[in-house]
A and B are shown apart, each in its own frame.
Chain A
Amino acid sequence: MRSPYAVPPVSLLLLLIISMFILGACASVDKTASTDPVLVEDTYGDGRMHGDRYPGVETTPLGRDGQLSPEALASALSDPASPLSRQVIYFDFDRDDVRAEFVDVIAAHGAFLARNSQLRLRLEGHTDERGTREYNLGLGERRAQSVRRMLMLQGASSSQIQVISYGEEMPAVQGSNEQAWQKNRRVELIYEGHLR
């Protein structure tokens, strides 16, 4: 498990730590997936979701060739019990390293993408309003690239992920205070075909 991307030396230790987190996360994600009512084949062929509501139905994660219907995708991404329901990663001021609390979330998305190769994800990097607009465009991209690298460590492929930076141009929250800034320093994970 090694990033194909060159990383600055300072980040190596961090990556190592993150990788360790992710190794732990892999197991829990797989476990979640096996009982997750969302990630099942459409055994009944009726385009509807089946799972724990239908005892006895075999629940297996979708394979690489499987298709995830928009409903199944929506359901997978909105189950509050699943880390997949969290699709915004927040960052510290002028930082692009992922905070420990989001490592599991990103790992879950990475594994989800790896299992569902037909899925496409857009990573939108954002910053708070402080500093110059052009520098923030760079910073937003760097944040999105951090998330992208971690997704790929889980087996997501580069062709599934598109990175876009909006810098400080699309704040989630208006305001010039730390509360607003915290909400604006973020990467949004946006699945193609899924409106949040």
Chain B
Amino acid sequence: MIQIRHILLLLLLGLPLTVQAALEIRITQGVEGAMPIAVVPFTWTGADQAPADLAAIIDANLHRSGRFAPVDRQAMPQRPAPDETPDAALWRDRGTNYVVIGRLQPDSGDRLNVQFQLFDVAGNRQLTGYTIPVERAHLRRAAHMISDIIYERLTGERGAFDTRVAYVSVTGPGEQRRFALQVADADGHNPRTIFRSPHPILSPAWSPDGQRIAYVSFENGRSEVFVQNVDGGERTRLAAFEGINSAPAWSPDGQRLALTLSRGGAPDVHIMNLADRTITQITRSRSIDTEAVWMPDGRSLIFTSDRAGQPQLYEVSVTGGQPRRLTFEGRYNGGASLSPDGRRLAMVHGADGRFRIALLDRQTRLFQVLTEGRADESPSFAPNGSMIIYATAEGGRGILAAVSADGRVHQRLVLQEGEVREPAWSPFRQ
């Protein structure tokens, strides 16, 4: 018997969208042993053309994860209707284990209902099914949520398709360069500009609730730290001391911000209490101490320091004290991003004149170089730890790329014009 649960979604609230050139995603290297899954084109019960091809969006998401091998719709042996159960034998013969069928129905006004079911054709049973009420403008988001549900049901891990990526885009030549802080869906669609400037923008960092982004702007002729609401636009200057103000990173509880201040001396890691703006200095050295990130328990920070002569990663307690060196491989390790469980450390690894993304497993001490670029930087973990997004160069311009945390699946996200850099993957939606 088909059982359909209902969930209510924030999709109905609706947010203004600015349509801009989307990031185009190209999968450059796939993986063997991915799960075959068929996402049957959703039935549209309204008049005219279907407003979106949800199955195609889900297909692309699952493919991108590297964990699934979606079946080409031309090669599908049948297209079961929404109230039908797939013919198990027909699909099993083709080596397909899972089938998704769905329906898109008009409701009132701009509202629609999306219904889908995931079948295990080998076990001949429905694994899950939902009805999702959605506004027309948020159909893509519904497809991302369905992708997350499928991903979690079949891999046991939470999906990260219904998340966002913040990044800095750069357009225009020379003096006409324009910088924009943008937020797009994790698949590169629906980019919105949240801040635009003729001066450089750096280091966007999401608050743990996904509501705010802290970043560095040079709009006043030097580096200063700002925080801005992602949806509302309210914007505050947090740090504008003499010297460098940069590298913001939110504490897991969202109450504090680690940042780099030089205050006329050398750059050191500090922590600002956001409620009263009081600042505690954490590192004290004549070296460059910067790029702090928080351990998930909020009790220590991992940061870059060249105190030993070359940049390497260190860990220090938030109460201060002697930092402990974490990386010893190669001459240059910096720009850390931690997996959500705190176990794996992604970094920019410089060796042999190239900068690539590397991963250190803090338990096994295994050190693995994941990428093959010459100038790869700004790694940022997906909130489920499955992928790392980073900045790289292709044909002399900056683009974004992503690699699965096991290094097996590579993809590139290309903006139609200009450069993209400084990606930061959002937390899960709350």
Contact = CB atoms under 8 A, between A and B. Distances in A.
A134 B266 contact: no
Interface string B397-423: 000000000000000000000000010
Contacts of A135: 288, 290-291, 304, 306, 311, 334-335
B422 A130 contact: no
Interface class of chain A by DSSP: mixed
A8 B286 contact: yes
Interface in B180-225: 200, 202-203, 218, 221-223
B334 A137 contact: no
A164 interface: yes
B79 to A, nearest CB: 49
Q: What are the 10 tightest A-B residue pairs by CB atom distance, in nearest-first order?
A: A138-B288, A169-B200, A132-B335, A138-B267, A132-B334, A134-B247, A134-B291, A134-B290, A164-B222, A135-B334
Contacts of A163: 243, 264
B355 interface: yes
Interface string A11-23: 0000000000000
A41 interface: no
A91 interface: no
Interface string A149-186: 00000000000000111110110000010000000000
B222 A169 contact: no
Interface residues of A, number: 23
Interface residues of B, number: 37
Interface in A109-148: 129-135, 137-139, 141-142
A176 B376 CA distance: 13
A137 B244 contact: yes
B262 A129 contact: no
B283 to A, nearest CB: 12
B334 A176 contact: no
Contact of B246 (A6, A94, A137, A176): A137
A186 to B, nearest CB: 17
Given A141-B267, A176-B396, A133 B422 contact: yes
Contact of A166 (B200, B290, B306, B374): B200
